[in-house]
Structure 1
């Protein structure tokens, strides 16, 4: 998975199972396998992301 930053640089995440979550406020979280805390990008820090998008968990009664 690659995250393209505004400054033109690219952050690469290469672990199996890494995924991203785009939020409606423009932020991006990269969820790393085995980590409980996601790496976050604020609105305006990133331009594009390429990789697996994490599906939201749907809780059923």
Structure 2
């Protein structure tokens, strides 16, 4: 499966908003999609469905920025 997220270049978007969309919002969308996909794929597994644990992306990026 392949998903492509794109932001139209003809929009008047500030650099801060664009960075937020690229790094925070898009990662949250992908993580949500992965959680759902993995849950669906493992739903009929012998051990039951697997659900990725929730991740606080804002905290993760903050900690990553401190390194």
Same-fold call, TM cutoff 0.5? no
Give TM-score, length-normalised by structure 1.
0.24
Greater strand proportion: 1
Question: Higher Cα Rg: structure 1 or 2?
Answer: 2
Greater helix proportion: 2
Higher relative contact order (CA 8 A, sep 6+): 1
